[in-house]
Copies of this chain bind each other. A is one copy, B any other.
Amino acid sequence: MGLLDYFRASRPKGSASVAKERLQILVAHDRAERGRPSYIPRLQQEILEVIRKYVEVDMSAVSVKYEQEDCHEVLELNIVLPDSATGRL
């Protein structure tokens, strides 16, 4: 399955006809060793700051999902951008 297929499948149902501007960011980390503290939560904040340079992000429109299992961790950020979203640069 290609990436575009994955994102198409994960898009909320019924949204096809409403052209919403969305950003989805996934960060997956395979760790060689357990036990070290994860830097992913800090990375999350910094990635959001980078995105806010380019588009307006209403923090209430950001949903965060974090899954961890053994040496794998995945962070998912889903951001619905405002309808008037225009690039800032």
Which residues does A use to contact B, with CB under 8 Å?
1-4, 6-9, 11, 19-33, 36-37, 39, 42-43, 46-47, 50-51, 53-55, 65, 67, 69, 71-72, 74, 76, 83, 85-87, 89
> Main secondary structure on chain A at its contact with chain B?
mixed
Give the CA-CA distance A26 to B5 in the complex, in Å: 13
Minimal Cβ-Cβ distance residue in B for A25: B27
Asked if B23 contacts A25 (CB within 8 A), the reply is no
* Contact of B26 with A22 in the complex, beta carbons under 8 Å: no
With A22-B29, A25-B25 already in contact, the answer to whether A87 and B3 are too (CB < 8 A) is no
The answer to whether A21 and B27 touch (CB under 8 A), given A39-B87, A47-B50, A74-B3, is no
